[in-house]
Amino acid sequence: MADPRGFLKHTERELPDRRPVDLRLMDWKEVYTDFDRSHLQTQASRCMDCGIPFCHNGCPLGNLIPEWNDLVYKDRWRDGIERLHATNNFPEFTGRLCPAPCEASCVLGINQPAVTIKQVEVELIDNAFDNGWVTPVMPSKKTGKKVAVVGSGPAGLAAAQQLTRAGHDVTVFERADRIGGLLRYGIPEFKMEKRHIDRRLAQMEAEGTVFKTGVNVGVDITAEQLRADFDAVVLANGSTIGRDLPIPGRELDGIHQAMEFLPQANRVQLGDTVENQITAKGKKVVIIGGGDTGADCLGTSLRQGAESVHQFEIMPKPPIERAESTPWPTYPLMFRVSSAHEEGGERVYSVNTEKFIGDENGKVKALKAHEVVMRDGRFEKVEGTDFELECDLVLLAMGFVGPERGDLLDKLGVAYDARGNVKRDDNFAAVGLPGVFVAGDAGRGQSLIVWAIAEGRSAAAAADEYLTGTSFLPAPIEPTTVAQR
């Protein structure tokens, strides 16, 4: 274990600083400064290697956290990244973007600040890339089986890497012009610079995974052709239909889904020219939706030079401390301040938008809203709280309702679950479609990167077994537990 007295000697949790707000708003780079490695080793030494490491369970990937905390503490970085890669294909994504449910279930966190697990994770992988330790892992034999992966978000990438390493010929089809799914076009540069995706893709290409961009499966390749040309298919096409707000005035100019706005900003950072870009420059922005997507719209709007930004949330403000309804070791409901929230804007809670008001040219100029309270699970208007707020850009960030149907899913003949996601059995197989597997948000509904990777790995194990009769690929989500989720 790491230092047996580490948690007694070092009671403080230390993380890298964020760059000063006025400085970071002038660029799109990640907000954190470098972290001294000796400080990280001190932090790793706080891990108690407790008898029952709840963090294993908290992490959907089952990351072997106490093992790599110990290895970092002992300066054995190369062994550390091997243990981390044993369970996680892409620690550079989770180490930057995961909300770290592992830390919420850290045993030290019962009466002290939790171990900085996520920081150890990201430093392990960044150090490994810096030292040239992330090299292709070639399959020991080829199976001659062909697998199509539809979608190149974290679920598709994890499935593709696992299946390529198991010896299959894997082609990833992506309808966008670049690989990465929401990692590429949803998550802003200031949360994760896109160079991290590119260096991982170089490894995957060297291993033999083939990437085809600009291919809308179901249109450019028909569903029948896909089934005929490949021995197995992994659907990792995400949950891409944004929840709408069908209130009066929704049709006005200047009201957009977050995922119309964010990808354009990311494209500009990647060097593209975007005609008629939706930009917050000089605008009064209202973001409807208080979650992470809303926070990404906030940070993007501030960097584009918005005049003002309000972020509306219909739910009440969460408690500052862990709510009683989410005791340790569950992921706590509590008030969080993301880097974007630190940078500006105003968060407004318990508010419901009633209508949008337009000018004579059909452009949104204000919205009408009121406060709400929740009674018996329903929101009720608080009388006398009506207000109007001027705005000329409204961004809808209220989550996603499921995968698009139509040419791909309907024509493949998938079934849907009660929430409109692709229905799969407890082994990630699409119901009624032998040889078709489902991973990530397409089957699970809107979720997290760590779950997408875990599902991609598990679906790969199931597909490998289908193709060869057996599989040595690890499946972080056991078949028996899928149905219980």
Cβ atoms of residues 287 and 312 within 8 Å? yes
Side chain identity at residue 252, one-letter code: L
Q: Distance between CA 202 and CA 196 in Å, rounded?
A: 10
Decide the pairing of beta strands 146-150 and 400-402: unpaired
Residue of the chain from 65, 81, 221, 442 that contacts ligand SF4 (CB under 6 A): 65
CB of 423 to ligand FAD, least distance (A): 16
Residue of the chain from 42, 94, 152, 209 that contacts ligand SF4 (CB under 6 A): 94
Q: Any contact of residue 116 with ligand SF4 (CB under 6 A)?
A: no
- Beta-sheet strands, E only, within 283-386: 284-288, 308-312, 346-348, 351-358, 364-375, 378-381
Cis ω for the linkage preceding 403 (within 30 of 0): no
- Listed in sequence order, the residues at least 6 apart from 373 whose beta carbon sits closer than 8 Å to its beta carbon are 316, 350, 379, 380, 382
The binder of 254, among ligand SF4, ligand FAD, none, by C-beta within 5 to 8 A per type, is none
Helix or strand (DSSP H, E) at 65: helix 65-73
Q: Any contact of residue 292 with ligand FAD (CB under 6 A)?
A: yes
Residue 36, Cα to own-chain centre: how many angstroms?
Answer: 27
DSSP letter (8 states) at residue 372 = E
Cβ atoms of residues 164 and 208 within 8 Å? yes
Interaction residues for ligand SF4, span 1-60 (CB under 6 A): 58-59
Q: Any contact of residue 396 with ligand FAD (CB under 6 A)?
A: no
CB of 65 to ligand SF4, least distance (A): 6
Q: Any contact of residue 454 with ligand FAD (CB under 6 A)?
A: no
How far, in Å, are 133, 194, 354, 417 from residue 388 at the CA level?
57, 39, 10, 39
The distance in angstroms from the start CA to the end CA of the chain is 32
The binder of 101, among ligand FAD, ligand SF4, none, by C-beta within 5 to 8 A per type, is ligand SF4
Interaction residues for ligand SF4, span 149-178 (CB under 6 A): none
DSSP letter (8 states) at residue 273 = -
Q: Which stretch binds ligand SF4 (CB under 6 A): 97-105, 155-163, 370-378, 436-444?
A: 97-105
Q: Any contact of residue 176 with ligand FAD (CB under 6 A)?
A: yes
The binder of 304, among ligand FAD, ligand SF4, none, by C-beta within 5 to 8 A per type, is none
Q: Give the x-and-dash track for 430-459 against ligand SF4 (CB under 6 A).
A: --------------------x---------
The binder of 174, among ligand SF4, ligand FAD, none, by C-beta within 5 to 8 A per type, is ligand FAD
Residue 368 φ/ψ, nearest 5 degrees: -110, 135
Q: Distance between CA 177 and CA 174 in Å, rounded?
A: 7
CB of 56 to ligand SF4, least distance (A): 9
Q: Which residues bind ligand FAD (CB under 6 A)?
A: 97-98, 150-156, 173-176, 181-182, 186-187, 191, 216-218, 236-238, 240, 262, 292-293, 296, 408, 440-442, 447-450, 452
Interface residues toward ligand SF4, by CB under 6 A: 58-59, 61, 63, 65, 94, 98, 100-102, 117-118, 121, 450
